[in-house]
Structure 1
Amino acid sequence: MTERLISGRYLLKRSIAGGGMGAIWLALDTQLQRHVAIKLMASHHLTSPESRQRFALEAKAIARLQNPHVVQIYDYGIDEGDVPYIVMELLEGEDLAALLERRLKLSPEAVVPLLNQVARALTAAHLAGVIHRDLKLGNIFLARLDGEEVVKVLDFGLALMDATENAANTESEVAGTPRYMSPEQMRGQTDLDHRADVWALAVVLYRLLTGDFPFSPQALETLRLGTATVLPTPPSRMVPELGTQLDEFFARALAPELSQRFSSARELAAAFTALVETGRPTRAAKVLVVDDEPDMALVMQLLLRKEIEENIYEFVFASNGEEALEKLRQHPDVEAILSDLKMPKMDGLTFLGRVGEVNPLVKVIIVSAYGDMGNLRTAMNRGAFDFLVKPINFDDLRSTLEKTIKHVRELRRMLRSTEENDLLRMFVNGGVVERVLSAVRTPLSVAGEKVESTVVFIDVKDFTELTRGDQPEQAIQRLNANFEVIVPELVSRGGVVDKFVGDAVMAVFRGQGHMGRALDACLSARQQLRAMAFRAGEGSPYSHGVCIGVDSGALVSGSIGARTLGRLDYTVLGDVVNRAAWLASLAERDQILIREELSQQLDSGFECTPLGARELPGTSVPLRVSELVHRREAVVPAADSTIRPPIRESVPRLAALNAASGKDAGSH
């Protein structure tokens, strides 16, 4: 067809995929000179207002999710021909449907990294109030990005937005791919929640492991009607080596009753990963041999016969680089590769450059003749771990393999430790982690220390009262939406999040200028929440407002708890903590309260208003309190040296002024 320009910017090249709502095209962004993917609404949908609304909702759903495992959207609009379009990142690779068609089924070890990446995408979607509703193999893409294989979730064309409000919808709707739909989704229930996607994820997992579906069409109809209890076909019946533990796993993952299933995609993925890890026996080190010589397998068996019999080594063979990449995908537990240089289809040097895309931890040992030293040198410069010379010497082979596998296992051990520390940092601020690790390494350090610090309590106003009638998932999502705004403002100015106490967060600021940085963080967090509430409306999670208390002075920090039972918490203690908490409880909506004594010590950039004396709880001693109103001048630079604008006006006020002058408050 003749090349067509969309909205004067995107030059269509060719159609690369099709779907119910429209076709996907390869296009050139003529302004940025990069290739993109464009989804154009199908012509038979153009006259349907419902279809056009659904198409726009897909763009909004994707745009809401800034996650590396969700396809990213660049633009949305309506072409001169009244055709809606979505511009997305262009991906190279294949979807899991194509992968399964080639491979027929995957090993549990190969499935684990795929499952965890999809779970991360779904977790991000569900936290943002988005239900995908059409998760299936064809909508999960294995993309090659920056030399790595990354899973991307695609096609949010049937997504439900603002999942917490779905119960208010009185019109039932059956949408999705039947073989992947949960019973409640097949029935078109109006209170559909994120667990419909968790069911679909379990079906995807089942298919990858067995190559088949867990339920027949007849069984799905029984599930839809709810006339009898139907369990999935045990996967061990289809693939005996999977074992009966996975039968129990899928009986839970695909239970007809919602309450009996996994509560989240992350929980399902974690449970499956744990089963694979614990069920993994002590195994031989797996070595991939890549060589087009037909007798190479016999050579390895002769040279290392004793080691193979004693289960020290297990060998996998490939005759060229292309076949080796596929073997590496099938065997993600390969630890070392012995690769020839001269092979058909894909030579050793090309293969060496592609290995990291599939398994970045595996190490390659190049095997070649003395006369090929030039290529050997190139291979070493490209990342080969070591080399062997043909004809292979037994002692040289054994020592080289031992050294390589020891190195790979140490790398994997270090990676596991890093992942565990990263997981810990999800629940504990990084600064606290380092102090806790120091305390563990040096037992005497748990005695504690006295430090000058500022403590901040930020409490979401009336959160418990206003969400009392909400479902647990709704309340947690609403609260976390506030913390997602508050915490970055605290951390970016050097604050350490000590703990979350119900609907409040407590942070500690240390070091030079700790009080000024703490107050700037409070002002900025309040401003950001006001801006979010203004843009999202009064019904949004950000409409509660916050009550903030701040105090500064000497406090005690250290590890408290029962060390002998392995339960410690690193925290701060003292009057400063108690006063900050009390001030937060005293504050009205969007008030920041501090002691009047402290307000008098601040520089002239902070404007405070005295509020008079208040009586501390449990005592008759009065405390004079001031309200921090705003900052007159530029803020103190953040701890990470990021320059932030002065905090003078709230965004709602700026938006009103811009609206009056015809400007967009969100423009830059």
Structure 2
Amino acid sequence: MSQRVIAGKYEIVRQIGRGAMGYIWEALDQHLRRRVALKLMSPDHVASATARTRFDREAKAIAQLKNPHVVQIYDYGIDEGSPYIVMELLEGEDFESRLERIERMPLPALVPIVMQAAMGLSSAHAKGIVHRDFKPANVFLARGEADESVKILDFGVVSMLTSEEDLTEDELQLTSSGSIVGTPLYMSPEQIRCGVVDLRSDLWSLGVLAYRALTGQHPFPGQWLGMLMVRICTDPFPPPSSILKDLSPEVDRFFERALAKDPDKRFRSAREFAGTFAALAERKEVGPAKILVVDDEPDVPHLIKQRFRQHIKKSVYDFVFATNGESALAELRKHEDIDVVLTDINMPGMDGLTFLSRVGDVNPLVRTIIVSAYGDMTNIRTAMNCGAFDFLVKPIDFKDLEVTIEKTLKHVTELRSNARSTEENSVLRMFVSPSLVDRLRSSSPFGTIDTWQGTVVFIDVAGFHARSKAQPPTDRVRTLNANFEVIVPAVTNRGGVVDKFLGDAVMATFRGDNHVTRALEASLDARMQLRTLALRAGQDSPFALGVSIGVATGEMLSGEIGSKAFGRLDYTILGEVPRAAAILQASAAKNQILLNRGAFDVARDWFDCVPVHVNTSSPMAAFELVRRADGGGRAGPNSMAETINLTGGPLGGNGSTESGNGGPLL
């Protein structure tokens, strides 16, 4: 193939790599006389409409990104029926090869790689692009004239954050099929479960990459696919400091957030991830309040130090200086303990207003004081609307400045205290009913009874008791938690609340608008994701047990039940509705969803349901939820297409992926 010319101008020279759907060649652009990398779809993929769609989407995704840390695309087309992508030719090695050679990297050396990779991901996320196969093999360390730079490769399994109505049927198949798309070792729990994937999934993958590079170990190793999937979805990971004793507790806390099972508890953006990671390389000690002053006037540092010399001498304040927005962001990343920013508006390079819009991405608890000329009220109003805490006008009244700094520091202290309280409430919610936590935080008298309309869902792990008889206690708990790690997000993503765990069952409640529809969507989501995991991980995995689900809707009571005299109370739901849901769940077979009459009356316009008979002590009308209307189409808001066959076929999983052999692209 060395003499082949693609599209009449790209002369193939030699093969240099392999990607998810084809081979990578070094080629010569005969028109421009430059060397390029040419990705040519392999013949076995050309016949697949899905593969061709994915290849086309990869080209379109990369073409949108003009970032120095994403491989650049020059051309795209079809030659003799085979699609091709022409990209910049890189020299160097992928990060996977580097890690295989050196095993692990010290934290300071890893920081620039993570920072640059995060910048590339941030560019993609800003365009609504989720990589979905971010791993060391797709992070290339390109050699330049002076140093190395990171380039993100292979957007072959990219997902676009767009509405389903904008996607073709082939594109829907890419993201909702039961097959694994990506590399399991670096997949987030929601991607493993075939759940909703957004930019936080890429940040999980970046966290796995950073953990492996820092410690030399994978946080969730697995000898076979089923084991790996359970560990990613259920198990904790070893704290990095337990592997390398010189790593600080701050590093452990960073990865607790980066690798949180719940996407809402992870970093909000790639910039925030990178800034926090970079700060780990700085040794910090408890000390004075740290204030960042941003101004391009050369005499400002001297004036500040003179005016606050006593505060500095007594270690009350510590000042950091920057001359524009860009250098200020760099200082924020280096000093994550900065409390207050004092910034001018008019500066060369990045001005104060642009800098203000970026502060929250680096440190959301920092508060900014804007300084501007007295007559510049338009900019001051803009700054206040963009989140500035306060403002001062020139010429500066230093007494006023001191009072403003004190007031701002007090506010930041309260924010940090509230953040700690939020963490404590999050821990509390892990062990008690969320409705009880809300009751404790509310001003309502303890003991009030609420009456409300809503829907109750009982989700039981159907085959748990039969399997658990042969399991040791630790495996029983692990099996149950593996299922709950799928069920709980399915409920909460639809706005439901897990009221309590009852042995091997979950009781969830839904209130507010569309509570019936959301409850049914959550039930279908949980069933689909568990079936998907079972297909991937095999019959011996915890996910193959299946679920039986009962759904009932109507009027309910909430109140405190128990003995106040002996201090044992449970804030719980009363009435016929939870009882009906429990009866329906007990009557449901494996992977069957049963509804009461009230839920059916709402569901009949959105879902396919059939009447069924249930054996109960008192007559009860029951209906089976089969699928969304139109054979799994788009029923209700934010519905997820259910593509797993629920009526038959053995469960199995060979652990294959659709991302090729995981080798480097270039």
TM-score (norm 1): 0.51
AA matched with 1:608: P
Alignment correspondent of 1:610: 613
AA matched with 2:209: L
Q: Aligned equivalents of 1:474 and 1:446: distance in 2?
A: 39
In the alignment, structure 1 residue 338 sits paired with structure 2 residue 342? yes
Q: Of residues 638, 642, 655 in structure 1, which corresponds to 2:637?
A: 642
Task: Give how far 1:473 is off.
Answer: 7.1
Task: Give how far 1:6 is off.
Answer: 0.5
Alignment correspondent of 2:501: 500
Which secondary structure state, in structure 2, belongs to the residue aligned with residue 456 of structure 1?
Answer: strand
Q: Aligned equivalents of 1:144 and 1:584: distance in 2?
A: 34
Alignment correspondent of 2:39: 6
Kindly indicate whether the alpha-carbon contact (under 8 Å) linking 2:188 and 2:205 is maintained by their aligned counterparts in 1: no
Alignment correspondent of 1:304: 308
Task: Give how far 1:498 is off.
Answer: 1.3
Task: Give how far 1:642 is off.
Answer: 0.7
Which secondary structure state, in structure 1, belongs to the residue aligned with residue 543 of structure 2?
Answer: helix
Q: Percent identity?
A: 38
Kindly indicate whether the alpha-carbon contact (under 8 Å) linking 1:380 and 1:386 is maintained by their aligned counterparts in 2: yes
Task: Give how far 1:395 is off.
Answer: 1.9
Structure 2, gaps ≥5 residues long:
1-33, 42-55, 64-68, 78-82, 98-124, 143-147, 151-183, 194-198, 267-275, 651-657, 659-666
Which secondary structure state, in structure 2, belongs to the residue aligned with residue 329 of structure 1?
Answer: helix
1:328-350 residue CA offsets vs partner (Å, 9 max, x unmatched): 23322222233456778877677
Alignment correspondent of 1:173: none
Q: Aligned equivalents of 1:442 and 1:581: distance in 2?
A: 32
1:70-115 residue CA offsets vs partner (Å, 9 max, x unmatched): x964579xxxxxxx99767999xxxxx999xxxxxxxxxxxxxxxx
1:372-415 residue CA offsets vs partner (Å, 9 max, x unmatched): 99988987787665555566433232233234334444554555
Q: Aligned equivalents of 1:205 and 1:452: distance in 2?
A: 54
Which secondary structure state, in structure 1, belongs to the residue aligned with residue 340 of structure 2?
Answer: strand
Alignment correspondent of 1:79: none
Task: Give how far 1:561 is off.
Answer: 6.2
Q: Aligned equivalents of 2:189 and 2:596: distance in 1?
A: 41
Which secondary structure state, in structure 2, belongs to the residue aligned with residue 457 of structure 1?
Answer: strand
User: Using a 3 Å threshold, how does the CA distance of structure 1 residues 631 and 167 change in structure 2: closer, same or farther?
Assistant: closer
AA matched with 2:318: E
TM-align CA RMSD = 6.7
User: Using a 3 Å threshold, how does the CA distance of structure 1 residues 204 and 160 change in structure 2: closer, same or farther?
Assistant: closer
Which secondary structure state, in structure 1, belongs to the residue aligned with residue 613 of structure 2?
Answer: strand
Task: Give how far 1:358 is off.
Answer: 2.7
Task: Give how far 1:456 is off.
Answer: 3.1
Which secondary structure state, in structure 1, belongs to the residue aligned with residue 549 of structure 2?
Answer: strand
AA matched with 1:163: G
Alignment correspondent of 2:573: 572
User: Using a 3 Å threshold, how does the CA distance of structure 1 residues 634 and 428 change in structure 2: closer, same or farther?
Assistant: farther
Q: Aligned equivalents of 1:476 and 1:29: distance in 2?
A: 53
Which secondary structure state, in structure 2, belongs to the residue aligned with residue 299 of structure 1?
Answer: helix
1:133-172 residue CA offsets vs partner (Å, 9 max, x unmatched): xxxxxxxxxx9999x9996443889869873759999xxx
Alignment correspondent of 2:645: 651
Q: Aligned equivalents of 1:163 and 1:417: distance in 2?
A: 36
Q: Aligned equivalents of 1:447 and 1:38: distance in 2?
A: 69
User: Using a 3 Å threshold, how does the CA distance of structure 1 residues 630 and 464 change in structure 2: closer, same or farther?
Assistant: closer
Alignment correspondent of 2:291: 287
Alignment correspondent of 1:198: 238
User: Using a 3 Å threshold, how does the CA distance of structure 1 residues 560 and 7 change in structure 2: closer, same or farther?
Assistant: farther
AA matched with 1:299: L
AA matched with 1:7: L
AA matched with 2:401: L
Alignment correspondent of 1:402: 406
AA matched with 1:334: I
Which secondary structure state, in structure 2, belongs to the residue aligned with residue 538 of structure 1?
Answer: coil
User: Using a 3 Å threshold, how does the CA distance of structure 1 residues 497 and 372 change in structure 2: closer, same or farther?
Assistant: closer
Task: Give how far 1:194 is off.
Answer: 10
Q: Of residues 222, 232, 252 in structure 2, which corresponds to 1:163?
A: 222
AA matched with 1:332: E
1:505-526 residue CA offsets vs partner (Å, 9 max, x unmatched): 1123557887787567656654
Alignment correspondent of 2:366: 362
Residues 94-105 of structure 1 correspond to what in structure 2 (within 5 A)? none
Residues 247-326 of structure 1 correspond to what in structure 2 (within 5 A)? 284-291=288-295, 296-308=300-312, 312-318=316-322, 323-326=327-330
Alignment correspondent of 2:23: none
User: Using a 3 Å threshold, how does the CA distance of structure 1 residues 626 and 535 change in structure 2: closer, same or farther?
Assistant: farther
TM-score (norm 2): 0.52
Task: Give how far 1:460 is off.
Answer: 0.7
Residues 47-66 of structure 1 correspond to what in structure 2 (within 5 A)? none
1:461-510 residue CA offsets vs partner (Å, 9 max, x unmatched): 23144245657776555434433554455556665421122321112355
Q: Aligned equivalents of 2:209 and 2:139: distance in 1?
A: 10
Kindly indicate whether the alpha-carbon contact (under 8 Å) linking 1:455 and 1:576 is maintained by their aligned counterparts in 2: yes
AA matched with 1:327: E
Residues 422-501 of structure 1 correspond to what in structure 2 (within 5 A)? 432-433=434-435, 436-438=437-439, 440-444=441-445, 446-451=447-452, 454-467=455-468, 478-487=479-488, 490=491, 495-501=496-502
AA matched with 1:5: L
AA matched with 1:461: A
Task: Give how far 1:198 is off.
Answer: 2.1
AA matched with 1:328: L
Task: Give how far 1:448 is off.
Answer: 1.9
Which secondary structure state, in structure 2, belongs to the residue aligned with residue 402 of structure 1?
Answer: helix
Q: Aligned equivalents of 2:423 and 2:490: distance in 1?
A: 25
Alignment correspondent of 2:171: none
Q: In terms of Rg, which structure is larger? A: 1
Kindly indicate whether the alpha-carbon contact (under 8 Å) linking 1:453 and 1:552 is maintained by their aligned counterparts in 2: yes
In the alignment, structure 1 residue 154 sits paired with structure 2 residue 209? yes
User: Using a 3 Å threshold, how does the CA distance of structure 1 residues 543 and 559 change in structure 2: closer, same or farther?
Assistant: same
Report how many aligned residue pairs link the two structures: 486
AA matched with 2:291: V
AA matched with 2:509: V
Which secondary structure state, in structure 2, belongs to the residue aligned with residue 444 of structure 1?
Answer: coil
Kindly indicate whether the alpha-carbon contact (under 8 Å) linking 1:341 and 1:368 is maintained by their aligned counterparts in 2: yes
User: Using a 3 Å threshold, how does the CA distance of structure 1 residues 308 and 465 change in structure 2: closer, same or farther?
Assistant: same
User: Using a 3 Å threshold, how does the CA distance of structure 1 residues 351 and 467 change in structure 2: closer, same or farther?
Assistant: same
Q: Aligned equivalents of 1:72 and 1:90: distance in 2?
A: 21
Q: Aligned equivalents of 2:233 and 2:547: distance in 1?
A: 29
Kindly indicate whether the alpha-carbon contact (under 8 Å) linking 1:558 and 1:570 is maintained by their aligned counterparts in 2: yes
AA matched with 1:335: D
Which secondary structure state, in structure 2, belongs to the residue aligned with residue 539 of structure 1?
Answer: coil
Structure 1, gaps ≥5 residues long:
14-22, 47-67, 77-83, 92-96, 100-120, 131-142, 170-190, 210-245, 254-261, 615-621, 657-663
User: Using a 3 Å threshold, how does the CA distance of structure 1 residues 75 and 467 change in structure 2: closer, same or farther?
Assistant: same
Alignment correspondent of 1:59: none
Kindly indicate whether the alpha-carbon contact (under 8 Å) linking 1:40 and 1:85 is maintained by their aligned counterparts in 2: no
Q: Aligned equivalents of 2:381 and 2:328: distance in 1?
A: 22
Q: Aligned equivalents of 1:525 and 1:573: distance in 2?
A: 25
Task: Give how far 1:572 is off.
Answer: 1.1
Task: Give how far 1:548 is off.
Answer: 3.3
Alignment correspondent of 2:157: none
User: Using a 3 Å threshold, how does the CA distance of structure 1 residues 631 and 396 change in structure 2: closer, same or farther?
Assistant: same
Task: Give how far 1:543 is off.
Answer: 1.6
1:303-333 residue CA offsets vs partner (Å, 9 max, x unmatched): 2345456654333345665554443233222
